[in-house]
Amino acid sequence: MQVAAPVAEGRILKLMFSIFEAQGLQYAILRNYETLPERVGARDVDILIPPEEIKKASAAIMYLAEKQGLLVAHHYCDERLLQFILVHRTGLNQLFDLKIDFFTSNQIYGLEVMSAREMLCNPLRHRGIPVVAEPVQLLDKFLFHVVVGHALHPKYNARFARIATQESGILFNALAPLTGKAEAEGMIGALSAGQGSDIPSLNFWQRMRVLGRLWRRQRAGGVLQMTRFLYERLRNHLRPAGLFVSISGPDGSGKTTVIELVLPHLRQLYGSDNVAYYHFRPTVLPRIAEVARAAKALDQVDEDYARPHRAEPSGIIGSAGRLSYYLLDYILGYFRRVYPELVDRKVILFDRYYQDMIADPGRSRIRMPTSILRLAARLLPLPRFSFFIRVDPEEVHRRKQELSLDEISELNARYDDLATRGFLIPIDNDVAPEVAAAKIVDFIIEHGDRSARRLLARRGI
């Protein structure tokens, strides 16, 4: 994380905790608390609160944002998680960000394993900040991984070995009702020996037994929790919380350079593992030339990508076939590659998308009326934000001479027309690419801030 002034992080964190105390928020840090309140020791600050404190916690974060001039780049809320990403630009290439996750309980598939009230019992104090007790820290991480089917990370072995040795009785009382006495003793023994990452995940029938015991323990409450869990999953499938972005522009516009500058900021804000980068289309279907070669209609595939306009466009029938093939790839690719990532709240960035085919159909060897290409766009799930890198035609021609100045001017006009029609968001790149990249990132952040504030206002915050 790039921060212009390292002391700013500590100041903001200390202010956040002082706001929590002033507002009487019931909370405790869940994990990775060792460096607090001077700095965040992990990617985010994980905080436990009772469910009834969600509104108060949200108000506290928004008050912090107002006091420090921070924008809410991202906000998310479901049955157990309240998430904020606060951002402030500290320089042309620098962002300060603070990620805060509030958890309201420990749940597995919507069934509560430990309530916030249980987890907040006997908290520790770290530099004046409440932290959940060590057995809770272990159980919160370990139970989820074992039941859901993910092995515990080896980095927890040494610490969990100490906790399991010192708190074996508490751990047994928590695990035995769920897994059975023999399994609980075996798990605690492995944890105490520093072999937590070697403990196998529960098999299907063991998992069903644990869930059944949780269900019986909660009775009617389990029905309500499971209903909320299923509702949130359905809502996220209908309106995925991920971010779908594309950046378009003619060759020579500096688009690739801008993308290379945008990507690090997106990875900083949303996590390196949560940003996927694609080119032009999802490509679940092979290139048309490769299909033709496989059908022995071609002897060799032309791979001269430096001259995308090297071949003449196809005739009307060939163009219709190409367009249909690409539309199918966009639709299938969206549901196979893009949509699952968006449901997982990830960021998808495309270097070019279908809008480039409308503006520059010759690049894809298509010759069809622009109105038909625009109409076809209505059939596709398009990015939420589609940016167009706009550069003076003479500058584009200076950088790349494949097309004439008149052709480049016409191409720019077609992109501008799409921007006028709402298909693209124009971003000028006549100065430094860092400026264009900052404009794109700031546009995304500011849109997220407006969306978060509208949503919170509807909730009375």
Which phi and psi angles does 189 have, rounded to 5°? -65, -45
Q: Which two tokens stand for residue 163?
A: 């906790």
How are strands ordered across the β-sheet holding 347-351? 275-279, 347-351, 243-248, 385-390, 425-428
pLDDT in tens, 258-313: 999 999 999 999 999 999 999 999 988 877 656 555 555 545 555 555 555 555 66
- Per the CB < 8 A criterion, the answer to whether 43 and 96 are in contact is no
- The pLDDT of residue 4 is 44
Residue 255 in domain: yes
Residues 151/197, Cβ–Cβ less than 8 Å: yes
**360-417 pLDDT per residue, tens:** 998 888 999 999 999 999 999 999 999 999 988 888 888 777 778 888 889 899 999 9
Tokens standing for 226? Answer: 């499971």
Strand 129-131 vs strand 71-77: parallel, antiparallel, or unpaired?
Answer: unpaired
The domain total for the chain is: 1
Cis peptide before 37 (omega within 30 of 0): yes
Share of the chain above pLDDT 90, in %: 69
Query: CA dist 329 to 59, 248, 286, 325, 369, Å?
Result: 44, 19, 9, 6, 21
Whether residue 334 contacts residue 278, with contact meaning beta carbons closer than 8 Å, is answered with no
- Residue 52 has what DSSP assignment? G
Question: Which tens digits make up the pLDDT trace of 81-117?
Answer: 999 999 999 999 999 999 999 999 999 888 899 999 9
Lowest mean pLDDT among 203-207, 288-292, 350-354: 288-292
Cα-atom radius of gyration of the chain, to the nearest Å? 27
CB 351 within 8 A of CB 279: yes
Task: Report the range of poorest mean pLDDT among 71-80, 166-175, 190-199, 288-297.
Answer: 288-297
DSSP character for 49?
-
Count of helices and strands (H, E) across the chain: 18, 14
Instruction: Pick from 4-8, 362-366, 400-404, 455-459 the range whose average pLDDT is largest.
Output: 455-459
- Does 406 map to a domain? yes
Q: Residue 256 sits in a domain of what CATH number?
A: 3.40.50.300
- On whether residue 57 sits in a domain, the answer given is no
Whether 381 is in a domain gets the answer yes
- Counting Cβ atoms within 10 Å, is residue 158 exposed (0-12), middle (13-18) or buried (19+)? exposed
- H or E element: which one contains 425? strand 425-428
CA–CA distance, 359 with 357 (Å, rounded to integer): 6
* Residue-wise DSSP of 216-264: HHHTHHHHHHHHHHHHHHHHHHHS--SEEEEEE--TTSSHHHHHHHHHH
Q: Residue 3 and residue 88: Cα distance in Å, rounded?
A: 10
Let me know if residue 289 belongs to a domain.
Answer: yes
456 occurs within a structural domain: no
Q: Whole-number mean pLDDT of the chain?
A: 90
* Nearest in space to 245 (alpha carbons), one of 220, 228, 265: 265
pLDDT at 443 over 60: yes
Averaged over 189-193, what is the pLDDT? 96
For residue 94, being part of any structural domain is answered with no
Task: Judge whether 236 lies within some domain.
Answer: no
Q: CA-to-CA distance for 56 and 131, rounded, in angstroms?
A: 19
278: domain range?
Answer: 241-430
- Cross-strand partners of 71: 87
In whole angstroms, what is the distance from residue 235 CA to residue 190 CA? 39
- Write the DSSP assignment of 252-313 as a string of letters: TSSHHHHHHHHHHHHHHHH-GGGEEEEESS--SSPPHHHHHHHTTS-SS----TT-TT-SPP
* Mean pLDDT, residues 192-214 taken together: 89
